[in-house]
Amino acid sequence: MRVSRRSAARDTRVTESIKPLDLGLLRCLDALVAESHVSRAADKLGMGQPAMSRVLGRLRELFGDPILIRGATGMIPSPRAIELAVIARRILADVDLVLGESIHFEPALCTSTFRIIATDYTHATFLPLLTRSVREEAPSATLSIKHPVHPKALVLALEEGDIELAIGHLEEPPPSLRSVPLFVDRIVCLIRGGHPYLDGGRSVEDFVALPHILVTPAGFGHFQSNIDHVLAETGLKRNVGMLSQHFMAAPYIVQSTDMVVLMPRRLAQHYLEGTDLAMIDPPLPVPSYRIFMYWHERSHRDPGVKWLRELARRCALAMPPP
């Protein structure tokens, strides 16, 4: 979001204006501008809607600006409010940085909500371990798991503090994000038992000719692109019969059709028991599926998020090999 040149000249006047403000009002201003909705801003900060309405009135009086104005599709922040929110976020980030380095975090006393973006693959293979560990160390904390969005929206959500962590694989993460590798998985193929391919020579050419379900998790396109890059080097291309953003439905489609799907082994093996599915290795070398944890610089020193990141790393180390 671009701020007009006038905002720089106003910084001094704005700083003078916000002297009477407390940090709570600054956080409300940030939430109101981000959500463009009083009730959603209240929910974001765990407040009641009447209380947020009163805060909006105080902000309007203090700055002599409506803050939220009516647009074609609902309320939108005023140009002045957008400029004020940029300054407020900068102040809040500085305060959080100072407090984050000095506050001792006690997981047992934590009542925070930690927001994580993760694919259905991560839901099934990693989040059970992480959730159990969170419940053991911070029983009053809450995990809010969100589905991946477009990579640019995912990065923006981290930058604006709408989520604390993202778990997956970004092909080109921006410099504003920090990351650590969590774990690696092998890529296997799920195929219906009795499929004619299983009785043949299993050549690469026969394999790519099969109708494939191509799963590209929303927000994380790395999984399929790596596979197809390998095929492209040999001049081959898969016969794609279906596109999906979710791993979880693919095995049920494979079981009732002649389609196949490539997916991480830790997830694939969940579908073998009680089904007519077979798990085989692809007839060509396929790169491993590498899962990373991402966060933004703004939350790097937050004591609660630091604890959660360290807990996630410990959980990943405890995972059995694929």
The string of pLDDT tens digits covering residues 20-46 is 457 888 889 988 998 899 998 888 887
Which amino acid is located at 46 in the chain? G
Sheet strands side by side (includes 277-280):
239-244, 211-215, 260-264, 187-192, 277-280
Q: Of the segments 24-33, 90-99, 312-321, which one has the largest average pLDDT value?
A: 312-321
Cα separation, 10 vs 83, whole angstroms: 9
Q: Of the segments 130-134, 269-273, 302-306, which one has the largest average pLDDT value?
A: 130-134
- The backbone region for 168, taken as left when phi is positive above 0, alpha when psi lies in -120 to 50, beta otherwise, is left
More reliable by pLDDT, 17 or 170 = 170
Q: Of the segments 194-208, 250-264, 286-300, which one has the largest average pLDDT value?
A: 250-264
Q: Comparing C-alpha atoms, which of 157, 153, 131 is closest to residue 144?
A: 131
- Say yes or no to pLDDT of 2 above 70: no
3-state secondary structure 255-280: HCCCCEEEEEHHHHHHHCCCCCEEEE
pTM beyond cutoff 0.75: no
* Counts of helices then strands in the chain (DSSP H, E): 13, 12
* DSSP state for residue 198 in the 8-state scheme: G
* Domain chopping of the chain, boundaries: 6-102, 107-184+290-318, 187-287
Contact 289, 186 (CB under 8 A): yes
- Say yes or no to pLDDT of 232 above 90: no
Contact 202, 283 (CB under 8 A): yes
- Say yes or no to pLDDT of 182 above 90: yes
Cα separation, 307 vs 301, whole angstroms: 10
CATH classification code of 107-184+290-318: 3.40.190.10
Start-to-end C-alpha separation, the chain? 43
Domains 107-184+290-318 and 187-287 share a fold: yes
Rg of the chain (C-alpha set): 24
β-strands 74-77, 142-146 pairing? unpaired
Topology classification of domain 187-287: D-Maltodextrin-Binding Protein; domain 2 (3.40.190)
Query: Which two three-digit tokens encode residue 77?
Result: 């922040």
Beta bridge partners of residue 258, listed in sequence order? none
β-strands 74-77, 68-71 pairing? antiparallel
H-run or E-run covering 156: helix 151-159
Class of 6-102 in CATH: mainly alpha
